Structure 1
Amino acid sequence: MIYLKFDKWTKHIIEIIGFPFTLTNKYINRKRQINEIGQRIKVEDKFIHAIVYGKSDASYTVILDAGLSCCSLDWHYIQPQLSDFAKVLSFDRAGYGWSSTVNTPYTSEDVVADLIHILKELQLKPPYILVGHSFGGLNMRLFASKYPEQVAALILIDAIHEKRYLSNEWDSVRKKSHKKNLNLFRFGYLTSGIGLPKLLKQPVGRKYLPEPYQKYIDYIGYHPKSYEAVYKEFLYSEESALQVKSSKALSTDLPVVILSSNNADPTWVEHQGLLSQLTQNTRQIKTNHQHSIHLENPDLIIETIKELMN
């Protein structure tokens, strides 16, 4: 927390020194501003943006949680099609998309607490099918652990295993990689107020999405709060990993599907194997796709969800 306070002061100083750039960046952000697709729900001292599709009488509610740096727009291929046979919720974690920021650390526990509030507010009833991509997999696993009676199935799309963010599990290569990424996210956060990441064309999340979504990306992808969100999420990723590690084991009969990419890194392959042992009712689907399987092959995700419903 002290580290983040120091960064906030540093960011503020940079914005004062580069005052003309700060004003220009604010003007551009205001000019690009576009209203949210869904609705913003009051959760304690913040607003969380959520998108809901589907019929109210659907038997299942599908919850979609995107990966690190990504938001609800990640599910634009999948959510509309899922709504034909289920109630579907996608949302932006604090700071991402159209959700407001928080002044405290934001971890998987906070995501789950916000999600429970949203589900009650929108009257989205269980059973829930949880779908988590990458970092979102940690959040969905924690949800399934805390509320097993409400969860019908869990789908992890090339998801992170908690060991990836536990520093005592790292070798020298992983330590170097983590430090590099942390410094990159920190640089983006510190300079986001003066618009440097925008000048370098380095948005948070996806650079390109098909129309009509690109205009949304051009706004939220370069907004300073998005850079703050991804930096804080990565900064406190070990805390989130520890929360998942210390949580109760999933119900042994819970249906779980692991969708794995073609990542040949030995550690990644090992972690996907560990995820495939989460329950006695877990199966792994190995694909030839890269990390964002839900964007490369949305039909695979849709069919997997349909199978679990049946």
Structure 2
Amino acid sequence: MVCVLALAGCSSAPPPPGQKVDIGGLALHVNCTGPSTAQPTVIIEAGLGEMSASYHWVQAGVSKQARVCSYDRAGLGWSDSSSDPRDAQHMVRDLHALLEAAHISPPYVLAGHSLGGLLILAYTRRYPDEVAGLVFLDSSHPQQKARLPDYERNERWGKRMLTALSIGAHLGLTGLLTSSSDEPSSGEPPADVRAAFEYFGGDPRMYSTGRAELDRFDADTADAALVDSLGDRPVVVITAGKLRKHSNPKELADAEAYVKIFSELHAQYAALSSRGRQVILPNAGHMSLVYDKSNADDVVRNILEVVQEVRSLNQSQ
């Protein structure tokens, strides 16, 4: 239990919405909703340092028509921490073990946000027979480090910030911590989701695990780069087209470059499949894509289109 000393007092974590499943000395939290007999099952792979509750709006929308599971990687949300490296090799292994232990059977449509896009590629490479479709949600890309302006400087800043947030959370300075997104959002999540954000926003593990994941980012991009084809699987690649905040001409130029470069990189993902397509959402930012209900509704629609395409293909076989 995290004891937040300075500003919030000591509190217990809110109850998990799903179940904790032992995968061999490590218990991971998984939350499945929607029709239990519906196939394929959508698996949400979170972004760097994110937890399952961050995808509430996406899960709530998809569950109206399909079975959908979100989960917390080791060290995040309600899951136990792990001493293993936080790289694709170990995280994908954990996910596969979790799905087996929880009796969540394939086929899967994997939906990966940000870092999660690299992880769903790594999963598909290792377990190709289990993956029927993929949805990339403004995903990271193996070439982004080489292509994006000031990438290494921004990465160093991110590592320092996550370390500082972890120290701040240890000291109970939750009042200094901010949401994962500074983008405005519409739609108030339910009270239990808000409680999870408030509690885990003061959990030092969230930030130390995020830092551990960022430290292994280069290994994850190398892993994902080994995938040179997704065959004829239905694939949708969603690109957030909204410019990041800027306060001067250089920041504006960098923001425009980021959107343009990611759009080009995401088109490469779509080209990996003969059934791939790219969707650009001009009013969505990288995080508002899932935090903002109106943006999440667009994500839900595209995920369900992939689900329906997989169903149609299975019926025709």
Q: Which TM class, normalised by the smaller chain length? A: 0.7 to 0.9
Query: Which of 162, 178, 188 does residue 202 from structure 1 map onto?
Result: 178
Q: Which residue of 1 aligns with 2:290?
A: 294
Alignment coverage as a number of residue pairs: 283
Q: Which residue of 2 aligns with 1:9?
A: none
Query: Which of 21, 39, 43 does residue 59 from structure 1 map onto?
Result: 39
Match of 1:280, SS state, is strand
Does the 8 Å CA contact 1:146/1:248 hold for their aligned counterparts? no
Aligned counterparts of 2:79 and 2:56: Cα–Cα separation in 1: 18
Does the 8 Å CA contact 2:87/2:220 hold for their aligned counterparts? yes
Deviations 1:168-220 (A, max 9, x none): x2677222111111111122223432123x131335x3589623121111111
Aligned counterparts of 1:305 and 1:268: Cα–Cα separation in 2: 20
User: Which range moved further: 297-306 or 135-144?
Assistant: 297-306
Match of 2:106, SS state, is coil
Q: Which residue of 2 aligns with 1:173?
A: 150
Structure 2 unaligned spans of 5+: 244-255, 310-317
Aligned counterparts of 1:118 and 1:23: Cα–Cα separation in 2: 29
Does the 8 Å CA contact 1:36/1:98 hold for their aligned counterparts? yes
Does the 8 Å CA contact 1:148/1:251 hold for their aligned counterparts? no
Question: Percent of counterpart pairs with the same letter?
Answer: 25
Q: Which residue of 2 aligns with 1:100?
A: 80
Q: Which residue of 2 aligns with 1:192?
A: 169
The alpha-carbon deviation at position 142 of structure 1 amounts to: 1.1
Does the 8 Å CA contact 1:130/1:153 hold for their aligned counterparts? yes
Q: 1:23 to 1:154 in 2, by over 3 A?
A: closer
Query: Which of 120, 143, 147 does residue 140 from structure 1 map onto?
Result: 120
The alpha-carbon deviation at position 241 of structure 1 amounts to: 1.4
Match of 2:286, SS state, is coil
The answer as to 2:247 corresponding to 1:252 is: no
Query: Which of 266, 281, 285 does residue 279 from structure 2 map onto?
Result: 285
Aligned counterparts of 2:57 and 2:148: Cα–Cα separation in 1: 37
Aligned counterparts of 1:172 and 1:257: Cα–Cα separation in 2: 26
Write out aligned runs for 1:154-169 (5 A).
154-165=134-145, 169=146
Aligned counterparts of 1:73 and 1:171: Cα–Cα separation in 2: 30
Q: For the aligned residues, what is the CA RMSD?
A: 2.4
Q: 1:187 to 1:215 in 2, by over 3 A?
A: same
Q: 1:76 to 1:171 in 2, by over 3 A?
A: closer
Does the 8 Å CA contact 2:239/2:262 hold for their aligned counterparts? no
Deviations 1:100-159 (A, max 9, x none): 212232111222111111111121111111101111111111112222211111000111
User: Which range moved further: 287-296 or 70-79?
Assistant: 287-296
The code of the aligned residue for 1:260 comes to T
Match of 1:175, SS state, is helix
Does the 8 Å CA contact 2:18/2:30 hold for their aligned counterparts? yes
Structure 1 unaligned spans of 5+: 1-21
The code of the aligned residue for 1:282 comes to G
Query: Which of 28, 31, 44 does residue 24 from structure 2 map onto?
Result: 44
Match of 1:63, SS state, is strand
The code of the aligned residue for 1:181 comes to G
Match of 1:76, SS state, is helix
Q: 1:201 to 1:172 in 2, by over 3 A?
A: closer
Write out aligned runs for 1:109-128 (5 A).
109-128=89-108
Aligned counterparts of 1:24 and 1:147: Cα–Cα separation in 2: 41
Q: 1:55 to 1:269 in 2, by over 3 A?
A: closer
The alpha-carbon deviation at position 280 of structure 1 amounts to: 2.6
The alpha-carbon deviation at position 68 of structure 1 amounts to: 1.6
Match of 1:283, SS state, is strand
TM, length-normalised to structure 1: 0.83
Does the 8 Å CA contact 1:206/1:217 hold for their aligned counterparts? no
